[in-house]
Amino acid sequence: MPKISVAILWILLLCLPGITGMAQYFGKNKPSYRSFDFHLSQTDHFDIYHYLSDSSRVVFLGGLAEQWYHYHRQILADTFEERSPVLMYRNHADFQQTNAIMGDIGVGTGGVTEGLKRRVVMPFSFSDYQTSHVLGHELVHAFQYHIIEESSNLNLGAISRVPLWMIEGMAEYLSVGNSDAYTAVWMRDALLSNDFPTLDELGNYSRYSPYRFGQAFWSYIASQYGEQYIRRLFVASAMQGYQSAIEEQLGITVDSLSLAWRSALAAQLVTPEDSTWTMLGKRLFSSENSGKYNLSPAVSPDGRYIVFLSERDIYSLDLFLADAGSGEIISKIYTSSRNADIDALEYTETAGSWSPDNRYFAFVAYQKGKSVIMIYDVKKGQTERTIFQPGVDAVSSPVWSPNGEGIAFSAMRMGISNLCYFSFVDNSFKFLTRSSYSAMQPGWSPDGQWLWFITDEPAPGQSFFFPGNFNLARFNFSSGETDVLATFPGAKNLNPMPLNKREVLFLSNVNGRRDLYVLDISSGKIKRTTSYATGIMGITEMSPALSVAGDTIFYSMLKSGEFQIIKAPVRGLLSQAKIIDPQPFDYRSARLALYSEHFSRVDQNLTYRGVLNPTEEIGMTSSEPQNRWQLDYVGNMAAGVMTGRFGTGMAGSIEALFSDVLGNNLLYGGISINGEIYDFGGQVALLHQKHRIKTGVSLSHIPYRMGYYSYEGEGDQEELVYFSRRIFQDKAAVFSFLPLSRSARVESGLSMARYSYRYEKIEDIRSYYPTYNETGRRIDAPDGFWVGDVDVAYVFDNSKSGIASPVDGTRTRIQAEKYFNGVNAHAFLMDFRKYKFVRPFSFAYRLYYYGRHGADRNTNRMTRLFVGYPWLVRGYDTGEFYMDSTRNTRGIGIKHLIGNNLLITNLEWRMPFSGPFDFAWFRSSTFFSELALFVDAGIAWDTDSTPVAALTTTSDDQRIPVFSTGMSLRLNFFGFIVVEPYLAFPFHQNRFYNGQFGFNVFPGW
């Protein structure tokens, strides 16, 4: 899109928030590498959009959706009169490219539900259970939106009154139920750490997961009051806020309910033994020497090095290489501000693997819209190669074979995962299993004969098995045969780690916790090696958490609200192991609330979900995708009449965004007025984004108003006169942008604009106040003119965002513009920014040039460039210290600050002032701010002056830099806007001037 100046950019950002988000001055791109040809399959209540080649998977999806609809309808007492859209993507790499959701989609996002259309947008997961859970969760949100939308005294905006923990917790409770060992571990840890929140704290502090604590809250409400209160409390909260809703519906104060909930959970989940448990091993990584989330340990075969995930650098989850003995960080293998060739790192439910020679490390990432295995050369510190298998939707859990000749991994296609093997010998792929059941988390036996994994396939003769249960299994690499072992019936048995030919370590939640067990292969006996009050686990329920090298094991565990990596001797653990019976899963120990007199339909539905076939009696029809335009957003609705001492005027605005169900086409319209009828402005824009090159067209009418006072006449005839000037821009533009990666894109635009004028004069006024109740007389104004503009730009941005500005990475914009049809000029822009994070500070540097060239570069049809804007050089946007600087004076005149060329450089030191981090000067969960010390420098010149590198000059033909230094405070208002008050001390002609207070509306460069 055309980017003529910062002022034009500000107008576009105000008028076109939805569309410019993908083609802004800076900012990362949403991944976009391919277009999707969706088909439409319809059930009774859902329109399922998909691009699946297997019709049985479409029927499976339809059955799941209808099953969840049937379950949720019983609890929420609501029905869909119109079918709700479900957009299904084959994998997360495709899901990140969706056009239906305009925002960026992170790796940890399993699905999204949008409000006005109630669209559920999600990808397949590696197992049917995971896919079903996400779909069930998201459909709860669809019901929530529908309930509010259909309520006579509510509108969709009322959902903002419902806290996030209520919204997400309800979705988790209705899709998972009362018995959930993973959430139980989180609750038990919070109780034992004496960090269990009140309901008010739950919404004010980000360290409390809205999913986990929200699920436990609704479980308590359903148990104590009955599931009929779920809808009642939700609707009441949307009407009046959750605090008043709780008092009105439940007859109890929020504080009393918080205490009762905590007491009930403690009685249910905490035993006397939980207060005396001890951790086995040495704490290698924790918040004391790393971050609060230290995950997915992977130790090298020789035991010297370990790779793990951590947010130790605060603003992102990165992959670190460390000394396995001391825990000292050696290097960073992956970070988004350095690895621009990678769209994202897959960190949720996979871990990496070392080569047998300790040289290479394999991990999973997203690159150019594909799920790939990256081979990283630890010695060279660079990526050696990338492994991608055509025909596979996603890969997970790569494990290097003991002989180093290949890598086994889990390969997913349309929600079904099988084991796959890549050979380095001949660069070939082959599937090891071909089953309708999922095969995940492979692990080699040391001799390379067996490949252990987990599966949702029942073992022979196993009757106690339901969705979400996982057994251990093994694949014989020589014979190709597969054995499924019963292990603990009804439990999630995960992360198998063979120690030798006789023993396999694995994790299980059979006791309602997450402990480490060892299976004796020959006898089938199982021993429990740990008895932890919390659990050995990762960031999700299915995340791997174990790694073994020789006689040393590394595992991640939840303790005191953080994930720590523990190092322990294997034989030390085994020496304390106790043989236990392979009992079924203990649902009581995993329950989030006691059994009560209130019947739980949620428990009943989820218990028998595996007995009922979701594909039975599901009628489905196929048709062409619907391209109906529907409203996505409407806002800034205001209208009124201004009246008072200054007269009467009009003010109002409205903007709306429409799109089709797939989000391939967007239509934006906005109008506003402020003052008289001439001060009406508006814009209409259409964006087509199905293909990789996004194209659009826009039409706009924008008024610019200014005015000044003057005296006319002489002596007694002198009178005060007000001159009003309006400039109208009527513009048509076409634009396009091509995302090359997450970090780089190419933009282009072509526009034609007509500028016209309206001048008015108001005579015989008696004060210096604007007036609207006197009619101005129209006077002569310049003739209108047309100007065309064509531009092209290359943009690169791999920066990380901090509290109020970027803190690490690089930003670059190189842009060329050509004006035509009345203005013979061209312009060039170069904007380079570098950020370096040195915990906890950040250093920022900018070099900026913008220049106009050509025969009409001095035309008065274009505003002269000004170096003193606060987003360029702070401290020069006030005229109180300017002098009428004529030849040979040493003062600052406005002529020193304007020209056709600008060269700017800035240097900043940034520090979190207030926020959620421990190193912020003031810790706050709501007030986010950043302190900055800055030095700005800039110079402006034109054809009549020469820039010189000097601090002083007496020549009127020379331009020297202007400087300023000072302090600013950037305030982040809930992520919507960042403002920056500052104090700057200008420095010019080798002297400092008095400090200048200012306000920057374009902060955080």
The crossing angle, in degrees rounded to 10, of helices 242-250 and 228-240 is 140
Q: How far is CA 508 from the centre of its chain?
A: 31
Give pLDDT tens digits for 186-214.
999 999 999 999 999 998 888 899 999 99
Cβ burial of 462 (10 Å; 0-12, 13-18, 19+) is: middle
Residues 220, 180: one domain?
yes
CA dihedral sign of residues 61, 66, 67, 69: positive
Residues 259, 318: one domain?
no
Specify the pLDDT at position 771. 52
Specify the pLDDT at position 10. 28
Residue 508 CA to residue 514 CA, distance in Å, equals: 6
**Is 711 contained in some domain?**
no
Residues 463, 578: one domain?
yes
Specify the pLDDT at position 105. 92
| CATH number of the domain within which 808 lies | 2.40.160.50
Specify the pLDDT at position 339. 82
Specify the pLDDT at position 462. 83
Q: Which helix (H) or strand (E) holds 18?
A: helix 17-20
Residues 989, 862: one domain?
yes
**Is 301 contained in some domain?**
yes
Specify the pLDDT at position 716. 72
3-state secondary structure of 67: helix
Domain endpoint, select from 248, 276, 304: 276
Domain endpoint, select from 590, 611, 639: 590
Residues 402, 443: one domain?
yes
Residues 209, 315: one domain?
no
Long-range contacts of 324-331 (CB under 8 A, 24+ apart): 324/284, 324/299, 324/300, 324/549, 324/552, 324/554, 324/567, 327/284, 327/285, 327/289, 327/290, 329/290, 330/305, 331/381
**Is 207 contained in some domain?**
yes
Residues of the chain with pLDDT under 70: 1-23, 464, 610-617, 636-651, 766-775, 879-891, 918
What residues contact 529, with CB distance under 8 A and at least 6 apart? 280, 505, 515, 516, 517, 518, 573, 574, 576, 577
Specify the pLDDT at position 86. 97
**Is 752 contained in some domain?**
no
Q: Are 421 and 435 in contact (CB under 8 A)?
A: no
Residues 390, 489: one domain?
yes
Residues 584, 607: one domain?
no
Residues 154, 172: one domain?
no
Q: How many domains does the chain have?
A: 4
Q: Are 403 and 301 in contact (CB under 8 A)?
A: no
Q: Quick one: tokens of 62?
A: 């339809």
Residue 970 belongs to domain spanning? 799-1005
| CATH number of the domain within which 509 lies | 2.120.10.30
**Is 978 contained in some domain?**
yes
Cis ω before 123 (30° cut-off from 0): no
Q: Are 734 and 700 in contact (CB under 8 A)?
A: no
Residues 538-564 as b or e (16 or more Cβ within 10 Å = b): bbebbbbbbbbbeebbbbbbbbebbbb
Specify the pLDDT at position 680. 85
Residues 859, 938: one domain?
yes
**Is 713 contained in some domain?**
no
Domain endpoint, select from 223, 254, 276: 276
**Is 743 contained in some domain?**
no
Residues 244, 292: one domain?
no
pTM of the entire structure? 0.90
| CATH number of the domain within which 84 lies | 3.40.30
Specify the pLDDT at position 407. 98
Give pLDDT tens digits for 816-846.
999 998 788 999 999 999 999 998 899 999 9
Residues 867, 1001: one domain?
yes
**Is 646 contained in some domain?**
no
